[in-house]
A and B are shown apart, each in its own frame.
Chain A
Amino acid sequence: MKILVCLKQVPHKDARLELAPDGKWIADANIKFEINDYDNYALEEALRVKDRDPATEVVVATIGPDRVQQSLRTALGMGADRAVQVWDDGLAGADSLAVAKTLAAVAKAEKCDLVLLGLMSDDANFALTGPILAELLGVPSATGIVSAKLDGGQVEVERELEGGALEVVKLPLPCLLTAQTGMNEVRYASLKGIMQAKKKPLDKKSLSDLGLSAAAVAAKTKIEKIYTPPKGAGAEILSGSKDEVAQKFVGKVKELGLL
């Protein structure tokens, strides 16, 4: 069994985000990054398969400049076997389609039984890479899963629908699954794992290494600008000392007839 987990490195949850001067992305030179939370659940699910069957190979892949190597090392420290980093100037401004085309080239070269990735990224929130990648690979897929049971040549998954309902579907391998947050309890890299990770292979590839070109992955969806959303009327902010604010709060509850 060979599993490919596609990761994205995103700004840390607690990073203070500011707009870049060109207004097309955030200023990312001086912020902390981490593995996209959704992808952590995908990686954990792959590592659980490996826990049960140590013959399983888990390969992690990501697209990004050299800072992403830190996230790949983290994934290797958690237990992945190998890592692939793809970077190329032609991937700057890549859209979901371009990312998926690049990952498809990686996946085809790896010949995996299962491709796992997060439902969406915490920065762009598109939730498109997974299904596009599945289509490009010609494999069945399920998005937003909260459980996966492998059984021989197939996998039964629960997809999260709205209002707490779950849809149960069965897919044959090879297939692609995107993980919803909360699907498992994500492990931390152990000290031993981190030491071992330094010796595990991390291959860096360019577009031409993958048989692609900048033209082949040119973005069709471009960010014209990002900006702070215009504020609506918003909330009436209670001001004053801690106790004054508390008194105003009590006043509001009283006005509602709830005290």
Chain B
Amino acid sequence: MAKTLIVAEIQKCQLREATLELVGMARKLGGDVASLVIGSGVGGIAEDLSKKGGGKVLVADDPSLANYNVDGWTRAIRKAVDAEKPELVLISNTPIGWDVAGRIAAQLDCGVASDVIRIEPEGGELVFVRRMFNAKFDARLRVAGTPRVATVQPGASEAYAGSDAGSVVKLDGVGGDARTKFVEIRTAPAGGHDLTKAEIIVSGGRGLQKPENFEAVLKPLVDALGAQMGASRPVVDAGWLPHEYQVGSSGQIVSPKLYVAVGISGAIQHLVGMKNSNFIIAINKDGDAPIFEVADVGIVGDLFEVVPALVTALKAAKGG
């Protein structure tokens, strides 16, 4: 590997963990590492990255980059690519990654793979491993030519923990107009159905088949466990339950003592939201469902038979 360029992300005024995971991945591949930090007044963060394995850290620092915008970010990444001529550009698979990775690949007319979980060097080439079909299958991808662009799934690789002395270099000519104008960030209203402090959560998915079953089938289990009810994204998308019930990367990130997933197959965006629960029990009719990979205990069966039996047993146990 000759050189990897890492596109850093800043979250809450510090380097995002996912960026250090990109450093970890690049260091494992070997070769030179360069990084790019984009923003306004981000020199300190660039210094920080240069001490955490980011290698030669380019800083695109301009008032026009104070808020994220796709045009400014794309321009800065392109400048860094032209300056460093990397063989591999690594970006995190985040809302920013979605916006910019394809644009950079289109500009360079080069191969691109998204949501990669592993990169394996093989005979002088790179093989990108990623999930497909909502995690039902894994895929090995070969990308011809250089450079190549890849976005990496946050949490998929280990953050680099070393402390190397790198350098910081200012990247010029990164300011300018953006066609897409930032207006504001709207955060979810506080209060409501807060799952983040729940001891026990029972979540339902598409397997419940219709909205009435949340009340008729799932609610008795929620009550018998003294739990709070959660839901997967498809349930909320379909309007069966409000967004405040959604557990996942775009909903609430939870870590209860017990998480019971009912009729949830385990799309990545859901797993991200609940995999840090202390104990996970999954109930699903498909024994191959990805949810069983993160669960501690699984019940493979028809939830419409299993759940009422659990309710009966819980009631008997409490009564006895």
With contacts A140-B70, A181-B233, A237-B300 taken as known, whether A128 is within 8 angstroms of B140 at the C-beta atoms is no
> Are A171 and B179 in contact, with the CB atoms below 8 A?
yes
With contacts A126-B114, A126-B115, A243-B309 taken as known, whether A249 is within 8 angstroms of B133 at the C-beta atoms is no
> Are A227 and B138 in contact, with the CB atoms below 8 A?
yes
Partner of B293, one of A141, A142, A168, A234: A234
In the complex, the chain A residue whose C-beta lies closest to that of B251 is A164
| A191 interface residue (CB < 8 Å to B) | no
> Are B183 and A234 in contact, with the CB atoms below 8 A?
no
> Are B183 and A122 in contact, with the CB atoms below 8 A?
no
With contacts A169-B183, A243-B309 taken as known, whether A220 is within 8 angstroms of B145 at the C-beta atoms is yes
Interface 1/0s, chain A 78-90, versus B by CB < 8 A?
Answer: 0000000000000
Partner of B317, one of A134, A228, A254: A254
Distance from B72 Cβ to chain A, minimum over Cβ atoms (Å): 12
> Are A167 and B95 in contact, with the CB atoms below 8 A?
yes
In the complex, the chain A residue whose C-beta lies closest to that of B154 is A162
In the complex, the chain A residue whose C-beta lies closest to that of B186 is A166
Most A CB contacts (10 A, CB to CB) among B131, B239, B296, B313 go to B313
Residues of A66-123 at the interface with B, using a CB-CB cut-off of 8 Å, are 95-97, 100, 119, 122-123
Residues of B91-119 at the interface with A, using a CB-CB cut-off of 8 Å, are 94-95, 98-103, 105-107, 109-115
In the complex, the chain A residue whose C-beta lies closest to that of B150 is A221
> How far does the alpha carbon of A220 sit from the alpha carbon of B258 in the complex, in Å?
45
| A124 interface residue (CB < 8 Å to B) | yes
A171: chain B residues at CB < 8 Å are 179-181
| A152 interface residue (CB < 8 Å to B) | no
With contacts A97-B112, A242-B309 taken as known, whether A170 is within 8 angstroms of B99 at the C-beta atoms is no
> Are B144 and A135 in contact, with the CB atoms below 8 A?
no
> How far does the alpha carbon of A247 sit from the alpha carbon of B239 in the complex, in Å?
34
> How far does the alpha carbon of A125 sit from the alpha carbon of B134 in the complex, in Å?
7
> Are B233 and A125 in contact, with the CB atoms below 8 A?
no
Interface 1/0s, chain A 171-206, versus B by CB < 8 A?
Answer: 110010010111001000000000000000000000
| B139 interface residue (CB < 8 Å to A) | yes
> Are B179 and A172 in contact, with the CB atoms below 8 A?
yes
| A55 interface residue (CB < 8 Å to B) | no
A132: chain B residues at CB < 8 Å are 102-103, 105-106, 112
Interface 1/0s, chain B 117-140, versus A by CB < 8 A?
Answer: 000000000010001111111111
With contacts A220-B110, A235-B292 taken as known, whether A246 is within 8 angstroms of B297 at the C-beta atoms is no
| A153 interface residue (CB < 8 Å to B) | no
> How far does the alpha carbon of A97 sit from the alpha carbon of B113 in the complex, in Å?
10
| B62 interface residue (CB < 8 Å to A) | no
> How far does the alpha carbon of A166 sit from the alpha carbon of B105 in the complex, in Å?
26
> How far does the alpha carbon of A121 sit from the alpha carbon of B147 in the complex, in Å?
25
| B287 interface residue (CB < 8 Å to A) | yes
Task: Using C-beta atoms within 8 Å of the partner chain, give the interface range for chain A.
Answer: 35 or more
Partner of A245, one of B106, B134, B306: B306
| A253 interface residue (CB < 8 Å to B) | yes
> Are B257 and A256 in contact, with the CB atoms below 8 A?
yes
B interface residues, tally (CB under 8 Å): 92
> How far does the alpha carbon of A171 sit from the alpha carbon of B143 in the complex, in Å?
33
Interface 1/0s, chain B 278-320, versus A by CB < 8 A?
Answer: 1111100001100011011111110001100110111001100
> Are A160 and B132 in contact, with the CB atoms below 8 A?
no
> Are A131 and B95 in contact, with the CB atoms below 8 A?
no
Distance from A138 Cβ to chain B, minimum over Cβ atoms (Å): 10
> Are A162 and B94 in contact, with the CB atoms below 8 A?
yes
Distance from B217 Cβ to chain A, minimum over Cβ atoms (Å): 15
> How far does the alpha carbon of A144 sit from the alpha carbon of B99 in the complex, in Å?
9
| A32 interface residue (CB < 8 Å to B) | no
| B216 interface residue (CB < 8 Å to A) | no
Distance from A126 Cβ to chain B, minimum over Cβ atoms (Å): 5
> How far does the alpha carbon of A175 sit from the alpha carbon of B71 in the complex, in Å?
13
Partner-A contacts on B (CB < 8 A) = 68-71, 74, 94-95, 98-103, 105-107, 109-115, 127, 131-145, 179-188, 199-200, 225, 233-234, 236-239, 243, 246, 249-253, 257-258, 278-282, 287-288, 292-293, 295-301, 305-306, 309-310, 312-314, 317-318
Interface pairs (19), CB distance under 8 Å: A128-B101, A129-B102, A163-B253, A167-B184, A168-B182, A175-B179, A222-B141, A225-B140, A232-B293, A235-B298, A236-B296, A237-B292, A242-B306, A250-B317, A253-B258, A256-B257, A256-B258, A256-B279, A258-B200
Excluding A161-B185, A162-B249, A220-B111, 4 further A-B contacts by CB distance (< 8 Å) are A122-B133, A128-B105, A131-B98, A224-B127
